């Protein structure tokens, strides 16, 4: 049976014809989830917040891996994948329930909930649930993660350096996820199509640019310019995220 995202035959390196399967590239997908998780962790400054986030991350990873297995050939793998994805989804739902009820302060709940929801959505985009939905889900997922960063900035639940790094991690998550979809849509998952090195180079270049931007922001902040609060500098990074979200693909 042809997979839902198979678009046509393609020849592999050993001459065997295989269907062209569109899947987000693995290396960039892993980078995106790590960056998204880092962004959520950087603004989770409470012990309970971090505990709940760790549980959520386990569920998110299980959901993503299970969904990938569901889309593989073989009844046994698909059945196993369905069970793993279901279990991961239930773990994430439990973490969302805890995040909504257990932190003692409402602001702590508002900081944590968008990050967990965003990571789950990002995992669904990169598994993927449907390849054609991947870009929209990436926008929603990283948007939720960044919302958690913004809420923390407003409630001052994390220091300025953590906010800047969390904003950068959000940008890197979106960039890596978009690259995963682009590479997967162009090359697919055929045997012999190894793209991990180029994906990691892309992620490294993006991280270097982001670190440079943060260095500039911190440098300006240390000048102590009157009338230029650090919050305004953090807003510059937020503006950069908005520009990235609105840029043409």
Q: Which helix (H) or strand (E) holds 168?
A: helix 160-187
Query: Would you state the pLDDT for residue 98?
Result: 96
Could you tell me which of 191, 198, 132 has the C-alpha nearest to residue 10?
Answer: 191
The rounded mean pLDDT for the chain is 81
Q: Do 33 and 24 contact (CB within 8 A), yes or no?
A: no
Mean pLDDT across the stretch 159-179? Answer: 88
Q: What is the DSSP string of 101-159?
A: HSSSSHHHHHHHHHHHHHHHHHHHHHTTS-GGGHHHHHHHHHHHHHHHHHHHHHHT-S-
Query: Would you state the pLDDT for residue 4?
Result: 53
Give the residue, 72 or 19, on which the prediction is more confident: 72
Sign of CA dihedral 36, 215, 47, 114: negative
Examine the pLDDT at 6 and tell me if it is beyond 70. Answer: no
Q: What is the token pair recorded at 5?
A: 């995202």
Q: What is the token pair recorded at 248?
A: 């043409």
Span of 19-28, 125-134, 164-173 with lowest mean pLDDT: 19-28
Examine the pLDDT at 58 and tell me if it is beyond 90. Answer: yes
Examine the pLDDT at 14 and tell me if it is beyond 70. Answer: no
% of the chain at pLDDT higher than 90: 43
Q: What is the token pair recorded at 158?
A: 């994390």
Query: Would you state the pLDDT for residue 216?
Result: 72
Could you tell me which of 211, 173, 181, 200 has the C-alpha nearest to residue 34?
Answer: 173
Examine the pLDDT at 205 and tell me if it is beyond 50. Answer: yes
Mean pLDDT across the stretch 172-195? Answer: 80
Give the residue, 8 or 110, on which the prediction is more confident: 110
Q: What is the token pair recorded at 207?
A: 């991280």
Q: Which helix (H) or strand (E) holds 67?
A: helix 47-70
Query: Would you state the pLDDT for residue 202?
Result: 87
Span of 134-148, 191-205, 232-246 with lowest mean pLDDT: 232-246
Mean pLDDT across the stretch 172-176? Answer: 92
> Per-residue confidence at 1, pLDDT binned at 50, 70, 90?
very low
- DSSP 3-state assignment of 68? helix
> Per-residue confidence at 248, pLDDT binned at 50, 70, 90?
very low
Q: Do 31 and 138 contact (CB within 8 A), yes or no?
A: no
Q: What is the token pair recorded at 170?
A: 């959000």
How many other CB atoms are there within 10 angstroms of residue 199's CB atom?
21
pLDDT in tens, 69-106: 888 778 888 899 999 999 999 999 999 999 999 999 99
Sign of CA dihedral 27, 30, 35, 38: negative
Query: Would you state the pLDDT for residue 225?
Result: 55
> Per-residue confidence at 19, pLDDT binned at 50, 70, 90?
low
Examine the pLDDT at 141 and tell me if it is beyond 50. Answer: yes
Query: Would you state the pLDDT for residue 125?
Result: 94
Fill in the DSSP letter of residue 14: T
Give the residue, 119 or 240, on which the prediction is more confident: 119
Mean pLDDT across the stretch 222-243? Answer: 56
Distance CA 96, CA 65 (A): 20
Q: Do 29 and 15 contact (CB within 8 A), yes or no?
A: no
- Domain residue spans in the chain? 18-246
Q: Strand runs (DSSP E) across 155-232, as ranges?
A: none
Q: Do 107 and 157 contact (CB within 8 A), yes or no?
A: yes
Distance CA 34, CA 201 (A): 16
Q: Do 215 and 161 contact (CB within 8 A), yes or no?
A: no
């Amino acid at each position: 049976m042809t997979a839902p995202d198979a678009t046509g035959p393609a020849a592999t390196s050993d001459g065997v014809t295989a269907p062209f399967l569109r899947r987000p590239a693995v290396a960039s997908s892993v980078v995106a989830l790590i960056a998204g998780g880092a962004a959520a962790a950087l603004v989770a400054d409470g012990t309970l917040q971090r505990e709940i986030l760790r549980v959520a991350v386990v569920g998110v990873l299980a959901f993503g891996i299970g969904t990938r297995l569901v889309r593989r050939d073989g009844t046994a793998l698909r059945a196993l994948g369905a069970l793993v994805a279901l279990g991961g989804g239930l773990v994430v739902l439990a973490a969302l329930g805890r995040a909504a009820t257990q932190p003692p302060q409402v602001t702590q709940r508002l900081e944590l909930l968008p990050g967990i929801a965003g990571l789950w959505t990002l995992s669904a985009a990169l598994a993927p649930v449907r390849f054609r939905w991947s870009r929209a889900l990436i926008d929603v997922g990283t948007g939720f993660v960044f919302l958690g960063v913004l809420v923390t900035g407003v409630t001052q639940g994390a220091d300025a350096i953590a906010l800047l790094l969390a904003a950068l991690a959000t940008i890197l998550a979106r960039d890596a996820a978009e690259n995963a979809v682009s590479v997967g849509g162009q090359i697919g998952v055929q045997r012999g199509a190894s793209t991990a090195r180029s994906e990691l180079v892309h992620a490294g270049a993006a991280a270097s640019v982001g670190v440079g931007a943060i260095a500039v922001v911190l440098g300006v902040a240390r000048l102590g310019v009157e009338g230029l609060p650090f919050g305004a500098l953090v807003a510059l990074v937020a503006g950069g995220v908005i520009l990235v979200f609105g840029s043409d693909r």
